[in-house]
Amino acid sequence: MAALRRLIWMIGLAMVVLGGLWSLQGLGLLAWPPGTFMFAHGEWALAGALTLAAGAVILWWLRPLVR
């Protein structure tokens, strides 16, 4: 069971990191990698924010469970 909790925690962390990346790209603040199709497209900023929020909820939910 502990292995499953750690896997879900890693998925939540990946969602937070990727959501932040997508949001910054969608807002036009981060052009990495060069030539990315997400740059300055608002729908990617929204998708990133939702992904980041979902990942944060997962991490918050698992907070008392991971030690």
pTM of this prediction exceeds 0.85: yes
Domain extents for the chain?
Answer: 12-30+37-67
Mean pLDDT, residues 8-17 = 97
Residue among 56, 57, 67 at smallest CA distance from 5? 67
DSSP state letter for 53:
H
Residues 32-51: tens digit of each pLDDT: 888 889 999 999 999 999 99
pLDDT in the model for residue 2: 86
Structure tokens belonging to residue 63: 């907070």
| pLDDT at 67 > cutoff 60 | no
Contact between 9 and 66 under an 8 Å Cβ cutoff? The reply is yes
Higher pLDDT, 46 or 2: 46
